[in-house]
Amino acid sequence: MIQRRPHPAAVLALFLTGVCATADAAGVRDSSSLRRQAFELAYNLDHEAAVALLRQATKENPSDASAHRALASVLWLNMLFSRGAVTVDHYLGSFSRTQVELSKPPADLDAEFRRHVTQAIELADARTRSAPGDPQAHYDLGAAVGLQASHIATVEGKMFAGFKAARRAYDEHEKVLELDGSRKDAGLVVGTYRYVVSTLSLPLRMMAYVVGFGGGRERGIATLQQTAAADGEARTDALFALVLIFNRERRYDDALQALQQLRQLYPKNRLVVLEQGSTALRAGRAAQADAVLSEGLTALAREQRPKMPGEEALWRYKRGAARAALNRVEEARADLKAATSPAAQDWVRGRAKVELARLAARTGDTGSARDLALQAQSLCEKGSDPACVSDARNVVRNPGGR
């Protein structure tokens, strides 16, 4: 399992964006059609078209908090995509570090995000003051501040600086459930934060309880499952959240089931296919992983839309690891060498070199195994991948081992 750049709020990175097209606040309905179209595009990785529609929605309905929040959400996802940081691999691990060094996002996207998330919060806050019993107003406010918290964690790299906003999001969505227990969409934030708190170390968990977070691993997962099962717009975000959580919990059958639902819902989202293959690989199902990843690589070769930085290398690393597990040595080596290209992210290059080192050791070439493992260790340290660093060191210490 890859453990890299763990963020206490970043576990929400693909899920608590408020992207879901929930019912509009009273009197603001004109943007709902544009938002529904935009969400469909965004979930299918047509980000530029989604942004264009949402910019139109905010211009035509400047007082609609949902429109501003939706635009900010897709802009935020674009920032993560431009970094290549939208896969499950980036959010596995424990939640412990308080700050990490991250590359700066495109300044124009970041400024536009901040402008619209601030507008969404201000509009929703005003609505909760004028209509304190309106569940939608509290939902809009909680979703907006939750998005702000996730941006602080995943873009700014300040894990605990977003705690105040995160708690406010949690409180607002618990309020939604108090006002209207049928609002399963609010379970997305509440369930995910309950799960996140349950994974913290004891001192951090106690701090979370003190500042007002509720915990409970199974309760959090059950709440998310209810949201995913409901016929509501938060279903997609809940399914993505469960994919990550089930991978963390090593409940791979459940993760694959959620991914299959997402693939049916969004057939143009190739990253769902990548996650299917990656999850099968974590589950030890190398043949299944190879088949899924080969299908995805064929589609990737025809893809005309923007790709993540080093995306093909990531696919090739995953398939190479699957083929290594199947003892298809030459095919594995070809994929893994391709995954070490300069275009690949450091952690991908490092992981690929670990696999190449193991292949060398398997054939008795202990000198090459040690050299590759040393290169892998350096790359994985640069890529903030401690599990990979550990694997590389093990090969360095015992290059003839398996």
Each residue's pLDDT tens digit, 1-13: 344 433 333 343 3
Q: Residue 5: its pLDDT value, please? A: 38
Q: Residue 400: its pLDDT value, please? A: 72
Assign domain 273-397 one CATH number from 1.20.1250.20, 1.25.40.10, 3.40.50.10310, 1.20.1440.130.
1.25.40.10
Are residues 23 and 33 in contact, defined by beta-carbon separation less than 8 angstroms? no
Are residues 385 and 351 in contact, defined by beta-carbon separation less than 8 angstroms? yes
pTM: 0.87
CA 351, distance to chain mean position in Å, is 20
Report d(CA 393, CA 365) in Å as an integer: 17
Cα dihedral 304/239/244/260 (nearest 10): -60
Are residues 176 and 135 in contact, defined by beta-carbon separation less than 8 angstroms? yes
* Tokens 């304190």 found at: 132
* Tokens 């049916």 found at: 264
Determine the residue type at 121.
I
Q: What is the fold of 10-268? A: 1.25.40
Q: Residue 161: its pLDDT value, please? A: 58
Q: Residue 61: its pLDDT value, please? A: 93
Report d(CA 100, CA 88) in Å as an integer: 18
DSSP class of residue 99 equals: B
Report d(CA 23, CA 55) in Å as an integer: 19
Determine the residue type at 84.
G
In a 3-state reduction of DSSP, which class is residue 332? helix
Question: What residue ranges do the domains of the chain occupy?
Answer: 10-268, 273-397
Q: Residue 205: its pLDDT value, please? A: 57
User: CA geometry: angle at 103 spanning 268 and 279, to 5°?
Assistant: 40
Beta bridge partners of 99: 158
Sequence-distant (≥ 6) Cβ neighbours of residue 398 within 8 angstroms: none
- Note the pLDDT tens digit of each residue in 11-34: 433 344 444 444 444 444 467 888
Report, as ranges of residue numbers, the positions in the chain whose pLDDT lies below 50. 1-29, 94-101, 210
Are residues 28 and 165 in contact, defined by beta-carbon separation less than 8 angstroms? no
Q: Residue 156: its pLDDT value, please? A: 76
State the first-to-last Cα distance of the chain, in angstroms, to the nearest integer: 17
Domains 10-268 and 273-397 share a fold: yes
